A and B are shown apart, each in its own frame.
Chain A
């Protein structure tokens, strides 16, 4: 959920101005003269280095802000990113992501094997207990899947595991999942799916669980005031390495400017999303700093290449190519994002499985763009719409670049109606082009981007190219990793050759963190507070 547009737009500006006046910050230089760091290089201060050995336990707490709030304490009862982050420390996920390789690794599930194309067997770690003392069994695993798949329960997460056809318990710690066809993303999906206690929920009911959750995680639920805060405390009986901090409080602070002010006042210790233009003000403070980490999210402009919303100049390949050549993406990353982004040549992020490192996109070449516009039969230029619900400063830069080669872009600012815009996009009613960002639901696989944006079955299928469809379908139907990679290489090349998108950059997450807190943002947009601690 976004906070009030007015406050978000004006707030940080106010904060920036005041911080600049009140803090001993270096005087700001005009942006044109500021030597920008190289694109792709994080610009912020390094994380606090632990002075000594990592403490085993600290009788201290941290307060983390969540601008979107948490709708329910039932981990299966919502699909909001911040709720998923906060509740993961209570109701852990079956698998977890290795932060070095970014591939799934054991968590509640200790080992697995692929029996055949549609059958997977999973073994749970032995000796695990829920916070109420009940042992964790394969029955709980089966219950967790069936609970979300049950249409009567109306879980918004149902689509995440709709590939599960059946779950069978083999022995008290082993279960088997049958998929509705070969599904290569099984392990990826399990990094985002939580275990819940069968007996507890059956005894107490869903409504009780939604306010008093019990899980296996490193932290136990203490209290929740809806719209205000959630408090969790260290689980001393945790099966793995217990959390270090005694207590974690998640506060709901909807306004970005307030979040940053509270961070600088020391009342908040971690702010999950900080605008790039606030990095300088935060780093200039004595108390907090911005910490960045590359994440899976990519930012791009799609073109209505197939005329879904009616005739469009972008149906012409040369116009789409011109729109690619026209934009100096490096300048956008350097100037608008202060270097906090990594340029991408094609639709994928380097962290996606299936990414082709040798793929070459369109370099910045405005003369070539003008030439292509002439060849396309538009020597006097064209007029197009570009719909935008965020990244306004980026889209304004694109408007400027396009304008120089004869593509006059009218920005349709739809920030006041994001939900309506998502729906219009699904129905194919947005004209010409639109800027979007996509986190692939933290599924580090090309499928999670291509099937959504380049296939007719995806929700936003402006770039659904019939020639690409069989490639994507084959990649989804095989578990052979090499074959899948080759198929995605083909798909990426096709997306670039046909200039179906204007790929811009991969985002970095920018978190505001108290300087004395030893904690790093994660590349999968989760927040792993169990290993965080205060410098003594």
Chain B
């Protein structure tokens, strides 16, 4: 837990320093044609003419009180702008993750059981293709196929459950191959173990052997990897949200980086680091539930 707190604070500090090294937002905020004096006034209004350590002190003090300041571009508190987009990202990440687990794990099990079969080979090809294909490319291909040519799904935006289909598939395409390969390897390993042979010898049904004896053990590393990959999933969400015009936290954070909207970036990074740390903690707990040997006291 202490480690988690350190990670969140570390991410916040690094973001703060990097942002200020990168760019001065007044360069973009001032209208074209603004004079040096206009810019000086603007910088003073925003408190950016203060030394960085003073800005940092103020930031920490305010952030500790839940105040990240107002966005430079939208006259709203950054934390509100971020929080009103949480549900969109949660929906997308939830559906993407659910789909990835469903497809990845089931294909992994089938591939392991039917090793070197047609299904196994196809799953392997799909996994390689899914991992090799950049997310934005896959996203555009899906829009072209299902929206432009077949007219069966909306290509972008938010509103109905149908809007969620293409972004979820795109996001799942990143994680599913990893889960599939891992499940397959673990299952193959476990299926060759003596206790599986024993279970079969006892006359248990193949389904029980696979799910209760083999998969229950294979699931432990799979759950750990899901927890570890959540950062990657949020990275994928940045591109997915941008391609599908999905109004989530990840795309807002990136757009805010591009226009040097410090307060929104800070709030977004904090929220995402909390999500990642939280997911890792949950994965640890879940592993504990699955495997009594590593349960925490």
Contact = CB atoms under 8 A, between A and B. Distances in A.
A225 B245 CA distance: 13
A443 B154 CA distance: 39
A459 B244 CA distance: 37
Interface string A347-361: 000000000000000
B36 to A, nearest CB: 7
Contacts of A426: 27, 36, 39
B140 A226 contact: no
Given A159-B38, A252-B247, A261-B155, A417 B22 contact: yes
Interface string B23-44: 1111111111111101101100
Contacts of B247: 225-228, 252
A254 B75 contact: no
Contacts of A6: 134, 136, 239
A418 B141 contact: no
Q: Which of A19, A228, A261 has the most CB of B within 10 A?
A: A261
B147 A265 contact: yes
Contacts of A25: none
Interface stretch (A69-77, A479-487, A490-498, A519-527): A69-77
A422 B28 contact: yes
Interface in B133-166: 134, 136-137, 139-141, 143-144, 147-149, 151, 154-158
Given A14-B140, A262-B155, A417-B23, A7 B31 contact: no
A210 B137 CA distance: 37
Contacts of A158: 31, 38
Interface in A422-450: 422-423, 426, 438-439, 441, 443, 448
B206 to A, nearest CB: 44
Given A159-B33, A261-B143, A72 B243 contact: no
A179 interface: no
B245 to A, nearest CB: 4
Interface stretch (B91-99, B209-217, B255-263, B268-276): B255-263
A254 B253 CA distance: 13
Contacts of B151: 265
A258 B241 CA distance: 11
Nearest to A78: B73
Nearest to B260: A419
Given A4-B242, A156-B29, A258 B74 contact: no
Nearest to B74: A71
Given A154-B45, A207-B75, A452-B33, A254 B255 contact: yes
B84 interface: yes
Nearest to B84: A226
B103 interface: no
B105 interface: no
Interface in B207-244: 238-239, 242-244
A159 B31 contact: yes
B295 to A, nearest CB: 42
A83 B160 CA distance: 26
A69 B252 CA distance: 11
Contacts of B259: 1, 419
Nearest to A67: B245
Nearest to A6: B136
A22 B144 contact: yes
Given A1-B259, A267-B155, A423-B24, A74 B41 contact: no
Contacts of A210: 75
A255 B251 CA distance: 11
A353 to B, nearest CB: 16
Interface residues of B, number: 58
Interface string A2-21: 11101100110011001100
Nearest to B28: A419
Interface in A11-57: 11, 14-15, 18-19, 22
A193 B74 CA distance: 19
Contacts of A69: 255
A420 B24 contact: yes
A247 interface: no
B254 interface: yes
Contacts of B71: 71
A11 B29 CA distance: 28
A162 interface: yes
Contacts of A19: 144
Contacts of B29: 79, 156
A264 interface: yes
Contacts of B73: 71-72, 78, 80
B258 A258 contact: no
30 contacts: A2-B258, A4-B136, A6-B136, A6-B239, A7-B239, A14-B140, A15-B140, A72-B74, A78-B73, A79-B30, A80-B73, A159-B35, A210-B75, A227-B252, A228-B157, A253-B157, A255-B242, A257-B243, A258-B140, A258-B143, A261-B140, A265-B147, A265-B155, A419-B24, A419-B27, A419-B28, A419-B260, A423-B24, A443-B33, A459-B36
Given A229-B157, A255-B136, A426-B39, 4 more contacts: A3-B242, A159-B31, A261-B143, A261-B156
Interface of B: 22-36, 38-39, 41-42, 45, 71, 73-75, 81, 84-85, 134, 136-137, 139-141, 143-144, 147-149, 151, 154-158, 238-239, 242-245, 247, 251-252, 254-255, 258-260
- In order of increasing CB-CB distance, the 8 nearest A-B pairs are A420-B23, A419-B23, A159-B34, A227-B247, A422-B27, A423-B27, A7-B136, A159-B38
Interface of A: 1-4, 6-7, 10-11, 14-15, 18-19, 22, 69, 71-72, 74, 77-80, 151, 154, 156-160, 162, 206-207, 210, 225-229, 251-255, 257-258, 261-262, 264-265, 267, 417-420, 422-423, 426, 438-439, 441, 443, 448, 451-452, 457-459
